[in-house]
Amino acid sequence: MTIEEFYDDFKQDLLADSGEDFVLNAFIEKMCEVVSEQGGMPDADLVGYKFTQRGIAVDAFARDSERSRYILVIADFRNAAEIATLTNTDIEKYFKRLDRFVEACGKSDFVNALEESDPVFPLAKFISENRSITNFDFILISDAKISNRVREITPAE
């Protein structure tokens, strides 16, 4: 099976499992399950938060008590007819959105502006109240194939 055939089958499975309106959520849920099954994180909670004007986003999170860390997940879901390519620029952009989310949680006006019913509120409030947390892992899930030019992904400081 080629990568293109796998991509088409994967998209069809997502659509069949979710319906057209919820395919992004199905993608995030499915990919979080895959990462969890591979031992990369415990079961994740979906939050689907985006503040586009400020370049802030987080799609899911998990708490890994054994390693004393939080895992934040962001999705690059293009749902394109042809498989797209994920570049270094794309990767940096998505990780910056997670960085900005963590930074924003350190500001009470950001957290206070969130609705308590918003799925991201408990995460934002926890980060806000526990500024001593410094162990965050960022995971980017994507339906694009990684560019051949991507040699390494360097973590932010």
Residue 62 and residue 71 in contact, taking contact as beta carbons nearer than 8 Å? yes
**pLDDT value, residue 155:** 63
Q: Report which of 48, 31, 156, 44 is spatially closest to residue 103, judged by C-alpha positions.
A: 156
pLDDT band at 131 (very low <50, low <70, confident <90, very high): confident
Confidence grade of residue 157 (pLDDT, cut at 50, 70, 90): low
d(CA 111, CA 106): 8
Q: What is the pLDDT of residue 156?
A: 60
Give me the pLDDT at residue 14, please: 86
β-pairing, 145-146 with 85-86? parallel
- How high is the pLDDT of residue 135? 84
For 80-92, what is each residue's pLDDT tens digit? 889 999 999 999 9
pLDDT in tens, 13-70: 888 877 666 889 999 999 999 999 998 889 999 999 999 899 999 999 998 877 778 8
Q: CA-to-CA distance for 32 and 34, rounded, in angstroms?
A: 5
Instruction: Kindly list the structural domains of the chain, giving each domain's residue range(s) and its CATH number in brackets, ordered by start.
Output: 3-146 (3.40.91)
What backbone torsions phi and psi does residue 44 show, to the nearest 5 degrees? -100, 155
